[in-house]
Structure 1
Amino acid sequence: MRFEPEAEDEFEAACGLLVDRLVRWAREQALPVDGFTAETALDYRHRATADGRLGLWESRHVEELLLSWLPEQVTECPGEEHTDAPGTLGTLLCYLHATQLADPRGPALEDSLAAVDATAGQYPAAMADHTRWGMAKFWAMTAAEQGVDVLDGAALQRFAERAQRGEVVYDQQVLAHSVFTHSFVCGPTGLRP
C-alpha cells in the first residue's frame, strides 16, 4: 500500500485492482462510490504527498483532497451530474478499514469519517472556485462553458487553435491567477519557480 514516485507501473496496477474491488464492495454494501473519484483520490496519495501511503488518510489529507486537489485537477462540466466525492472518499476509507488495508499509523475510521463530514460542506464551493483551478481545468471549463464537447478530441483541438489565435473569450484575471498559483511554490525564502 506504499509506492515510491518512480514505481508508476506498480502503482497503476495496484490502483486499478484496488478500485475494482472497492467498487464491487461498495455496491454490495449499498454505499456511494465513483470509480474515477476513488482512482483520483489514490492518485493524490501517490503523487501529491511525500509518503505515497495509499492507506494513510489523516484529516489534512482529506481536506487537501477535497478542497485543493480535486478542485484543481477534476473537471465537472456544466449540466453534468456531479459526483459525490466526499461520499466516495468515505466509502474508500470504510473499505480500507474493512479489508485491513488502512495504515495502522492513521486515525481511527470514525475520526477519518468525521474529517470527511467536516469538509464535505465546503467541497461544492471549492469545486466552483475558479481561483483553485489548474491550467488544464481552466481551459477545459472555458471550452465547456462555450459549448465545446470536451470529450471530443477534435472539437477540443479546434477550440485550442481558436484560443491560440485570440478568438476565444476568457477571464484573463482567473487565467493569470491560475498561472501564478501553479507556476510558483512558496518556500521559506519566498517564491521560487
Structure 2
Amino acid sequence: SRDVLATGPGLGRFKGDTDWLRRLWQHLERPLVIDADALNMLADAGPTAPRDWGKRSAATILTPHPGEMGRLLGMSTPEVQRDRIEHAARYAREQGVTLVLKGARTVIATPSGEAYINTTGHAGMATGGAGDVLTGIIAGLLAQGLSAEQAAAFGVFLHGQAGERAALLRGDPASLLAGDIVDAL
C-alpha cells in the first residue's frame, strides 16, 4: 500500500503556515489531500500558488467548499456559485490539481479539464465535520492505489451515498452529524 497525507482538518493556523505548506507541496513525494485550514493557507499564498510552487510528482487533491474556493480564486462565494463547473474546471486545469468543489451536486474537476457532477448526497450533510469525513475517504482510496481522479470521484459518490443512508436512519436529517456519515459507510 502507499502512504498518503491528508492535511487541513483540525490543523489550525500558525506563524509560517504558508511556508510550511509550500515546503510540503514541493518535497512530499506522496499523494496529498488538502482541505480546511490547509486550503486557507494555500489561498493566503496567492491565486497562482499551486502553479508557482511547481508540479507535484504525486497526486494532489483539493477539497474546498464554495467559501474556500472563493478565497482560492480571490472572488466572493456567490461568484463561485454562479458557475461552479467552470470555476472548478478552470482552477484544476490551470493549477494542475484534482479539485473537489463540495456542495449540492459536488463538482470533481481534473487537471486535463474534465469535470464530473456527483448526484449522491443529502442537504443534511452541510454539517461540521462532513467535509473532514470526505477528506478521509478520498485519502483512504488513494492509499489503496486509485488515481487522484478515481479517488475523488468515487470518494464523493460513496460519501454522498453514506449521507443519504445516514439521513434516512437519523429520522430528522437536520440533526445529521459527521459521525452518522461514518457509521453509514
> Shared fold (TM-score greater than 0.5)?
no
Q: Greater helix share, 1 or 2?
A: 1
Q: Whose strand proportion is higher, 1 or 2?
A: 2
